[in-house]
Structure 1
Amino acid sequence: MSSEGPARFLVERAVSVTAEPASVFTLIDDFRHWIRWSPWEGLDPGMQRTYSGADSGVGASYAWSGNKKAGSGSMTITESIPNERVVLDLEFVKPFKSRNVTTFLLTPREDGLQVTWQMTGPKNLFFRIFGFAFSMDKLIGKDFDSGLAQLKATAEKS
């Protein structure tokens, strides 16, 4: 699902996971676990990673710097409600500058858990001009699908 207004974008994907909420939450709330499921981890085998702040939860930070595909940027957890929600401040430096909010929602279901991954932020000048050809949904939606599939597989193995 995608919703794009004139000045902001929203990209959202969800997956059902048959695992305990705590297992899924830990994979999201601790950046050191992202290497196991993030769709961007394989883009640059030599990517530099820096972890700072708290080990997990509010204040945990992760910065990366890689090749042209991986780019560079940082993420900081700004809200963490165990087994329910993790909110990140996401800043891209390369290949383009952008600051977005990323949210993971964990919703209990009869058969397990629904994990929803959202990203929202302002459309930069490029996307306001060329958005008819390059929507954020087209650019990162498939990455969200891939990441959620990997998160599901990792959580269900645990």
Structure 2
Amino acid sequence: MSTFEVRRSAVIPAPAEEIFPLVNNFHEWTRWSPWETIDPGMSRRYFGSGSGAGAGYEWSGNRKAGSGSMEIMESVPSRLIRIRLQFTKPFKALNPTSFTFTPAPGGTEVTWSMTGENKGLGKVFALFMDMDKMVGADYKRGLAALASTVAARKS
């Protein structure tokens, strides 16, 4: 069985206390997530608590956006968020995802990572697509947008 990990980090010039709430609440993801613009007609449903452990989000969109759900499984204020990311379309996959927030010179290093297994259709897909390159570029864009969102809130 083949497994993969996608991981990207960026230093955002702000304390973790200012960045963390933007990730810990799925309602805030519309402001910075790299996938929010893929399908303007995408339907979203929020469930569970508003933020932190138990907060959930489901989406269903066009062929590119696919459909699935995310639920925050663990939330340690200003340090760690673990998410259960489940895709239902274009193929079924369960991808544990996490964000870590670490003090760094000039701000906070935010690391976004996702792990998974290539099996079934995902295994065929992995033969042609490099998950790290494909998702890594999205993560990089998302972290840059997260930094811009934090900066905009300050001004």
TM-score, normalising length from structure 2? 0.93
* Matched residue, 2:109: 114
Q: Quote the residue 2:38 is aligned against.
A: 43
What percentage of aligned pairs have identical amino acids? 46
Is 1:10 the counterpart of 2:5? The answer is yes
Q: CA RMSD in A?
A: 1.3
- The letter of the residue matching 1:56 is S
Instruction: Give the Cα separation in 1 of the matches to 2:14 and 2:131.
Output: 30
Deviates more, 1:126-135 or 1:52-61: 126-135
Q: Which runs of 5+ in 1 are unaligned?
A: 1-5
Q: Any idea what SS the aligned residue of 1:24 has?
A: helix
Task: Tell me which of 137, 147, 155 is aligned to 2:150.
Answer: 155
- Structure 2, unmatched stretches of 5+, are none
Q: Return the alpha-carbon distance in structure 1 between the equivalents of residues 92 and 35 of structure 2.
A: 17
**Corresponding residue for residue 76 of structure 2:** 81
TM-superposed deviation, 1:131:
3.3
Residues 1:124 and 2:119 aligned together: yes
**How far apart are the structure 2 equivalents of 1:126 and 1:68?**
15
Normalising by the residue count of structure 1, what TM-score does the alignment of the two structures yield?
0.92
Quote the Cα distance in structure 1 between the aligned partners of 2:125 and 2:45: 33
- Residues 5, 115 of structure 2: 8 Å contact kept: yes
Is the 8 Å Cα contact of residues 85 and 94 (structure 2) preserved in structure 1? yes
Q: Any conservation in 2 of the 1:65–1:72 contact (CA below 8 Å)?
A: yes
The number of residues matched between the two structures is 153
Offset of residue 33 of structure 1: 0.1
Q: Distance in 1 between matches of 2:121 and 2:59?
A: 23
Partner SS state of residue 33, structure 2: coil
- Aligned residue in 2 for 1:91: 86
Q: 1:24 aligns with which of 10, 19, 28?
A: 19
SS in 1 for 2:5: strand
Q: CA offset at residue 68 of structure 1?
A: 0.8
Of 118-127 and 74-83, the range deviating more from structure 2:
118-127
Deviates more, 1:138-147 or 1:100-109: 138-147
